[in-house]
Amino acid sequence: MEQQFPLILGSILDNDFYKITMQCAVIRLFPDIKGRYRFINRGKHPFPEGFGDELRRHVNAMANLTLSKQEKDFLSVRCPYLNPAYLDFLQGYRYDPAEVTIAQNGTELEVSVEGYWYRTILWEVPLLALISELFYKMEGMNRISNEALALRTRGKMNVFKELGVTVAEFGTRRRHSYEVQKEVLNTMMEYSAGEFVGTSNVHLAMLFDVKIIGTHAHEWFMFHGARYGYKIANAFALKSWVKVFKGDLGIALTDTYTTEVFFTQFSKQFAKLFDGVRHDSGDPLLFAEKTIAHYQRLGINPLHKSIIFSDGLNPEKVATITRACKDRIGISFGIGTNLTNDVGLQPMNIVMKLVEIAAPDMHWTPTVKLSDEPGKQTGNAGMVRLARELLEITAVEI
């Protein structure tokens, strides 16, 4: 009999906050949309024999996760923009393992999710976290000790302290393990003098009593592009977001169809209403220059707005960005893998994307993410070409 590992997920809130906020918005505006997600093994990691079966066991166990009264009360107090009807829904929500298909052929793993978008939207982050943690466990890879992990994390906190910047932990999706993420957060809290501002993980935010951070992800814009057209996707996605959250959760993601295109639709109204923007691909310094220039063109003081940098950050990149941007625009940093999977092993390079949507009046239609760098684009090749043609993008621009 193959070895079975203890169940990893112990809370329905062990997920990134933007999944909760987007689920709330999807229920409100798009309850009849269906979605398909697909696992993408960017790092070409070979999976050990029996991995798919073990992953299936953990996925099946997720059906038992429920929102406790304490968790519901926490969300009600900390997130007043999540309406009571949504919190009641979440209390009754159960993961349905039948929505997840898992297949292993040799060392290759295939994982997909299909169902109503308002339901399937919660699967992505916990599935990636499970795949990452099980991979290291089944391969028998030994990480550094908790003491060494704390020492590394303290060193990073010292850099952030010297730079005078604020940092949030964004590392749930590709964490080495739940234990490592918890240890990292504990150390960040213990050695922070104001630099550590919160986490994207809702469960751990509650556990450590810190701010929950997040707004929306690429799939929000990818859906709008597939449903309503690429030319209006950014503006329509932002309008939909404002319709639900009325100015709360005001950090806009820019690069789904390239930042260059985004700024053509990020009007003065949006620029004033949203608190800032998030950088997730491409050259961060060039992005900062374009963002500052855009605000200035609109007559908005960039120091009254913020950029949240979140693309593959480490202390060295944070230092470089800070030197270029400090005292020119508000800045903050969301760091993921470098915090939660810096344990002496090669971090996994895995993602899960919304690849198709359907509606009662629309057949399954592929989604597209162009990004600001070629390696991050996803989608059907024909649809990618169509999106580029319609948006008049001849090359990856920023």
> Looking at the 3D structure of the chain, how many domains does it have?
2
Q: Can you give the pLDDT of all 398 residues of the chain as single tens digits? A: 467 899 999 999 999 999 999 999 999 999 999 999 999 999 999 999 999 999 999 999 999 999 999 999 999 999 999 999 999 999 999 999 999 999 999 999 999 999 999 999 999 999 999 999 999 999 999 999 999 999 999 999 999 999 999 999 999 999 999 999 999 999 999 999 899 999 999 999 999 999 999 999 999 999 999 999 999 999 999 999 999 999 999 999 999 999 999 999 999 999 999 999 999 999 999 999 999 999 999 999 999 999 999 999 999 999 999 999 999 999 999 999 999 999 999 999 999 999 999 999 999 999 999 999 977 788 989 999 999 999 999 754 44
One DSSP character per residue, 120-134 reads HTTSHHHHHHHHHHH
- Same domain, yes or no: 284 and 202: yes
- Same domain, yes or no: 187 and 301: yes
Identify whether 11 is part of a domain: no
- Same domain, yes or no: 120 and 204: no
d(CA 114, CA 97) in angstroms, rounded, equals 10
Number of C-beta neighbours around residue 14 at 10 A: 21
- Same domain, yes or no: 183 and 226: yes
- Same domain, yes or no: 240 and 285: yes
Q: Tell me which of 320, 340, 360 is where a domain ends.
A: 340
- Same domain, yes or no: 225 and 373: no
d(CA 395, CA 397) in angstroms, rounded, equals 6
CATH of the domain at 93: 3.20.140.10
Identify whether 120 is part of a domain: yes
- Same domain, yes or no: 44 and 107: yes
Identify whether 2 is part of a domain: no
**pLDDT (0 to 100) of residue 2:** 62
Retrieve residue 282's tokens.
């491409």
**pLDDT (0 to 100) of residue 395:** 58
Identify whether 1 is part of a domain: no
Taking CA 59 as the corner, what is the angle to CA 350 and CA 356, rounded to the nearest 5 degrees? 55
- Same domain, yes or no: 125 and 174: no
**pLDDT (0 to 100) of residue 398:** 40
Identify whether 173 is part of a domain: yes
Q: How far is CA 228 from CA 61, 234, 357, in A?
A: 37, 10, 12
Q: How many CA atoms lie within 13 A of 50 on its CB side?
A: 10
Contact present, 205 and 242 (Cβ < 8 Å): no
Identify whether 6 is part of a domain: no
d(CA 221, CA 262) in angstroms, rounded, equals 11
- Same domain, yes or no: 43 and 160: no
Q: Which of 224, 200, 19, 199 is nearest to 123 (CA)?
A: 19
E-strand ranges in 270-397 read: 276-279, 306-309, 330-335, 351-359, 362-366, 368-369, 378-379
Please classify residue 334 by burial: count the beta carbons closer than 10 Å to its beta carbon, then call 0-12 exposed, 13-18 middle and 19+ buried: buried
Beta strands across the sheet bearing 196-199: 196-199, 167-169, 330-335, 306-309, 276-279, 251-253
Q: Which of 220, 248, 249, 246 is nearest to 233 (CA)?
A: 220
- Same domain, yes or no: 133 and 159: no
- Same domain, yes or no: 251 and 134: no
Kindly state the DSSP code that residue 100 receives in the 8-state scheme: E
Identify whether 172 is part of a domain: yes
Number of C-beta neighbours around residue 106 at 10 A: 8
Identify whether 240 is part of a domain: yes
- Same domain, yes or no: 285 and 230: yes
Kindly state the DSSP code that residue 165 receives in the 8-state scheme: -
**pLDDT (0 to 100) of residue 217:** 97
**Hey, is 334 helix, strand or coil?**
strand
Range of the domain at 361: 17-141+348-388
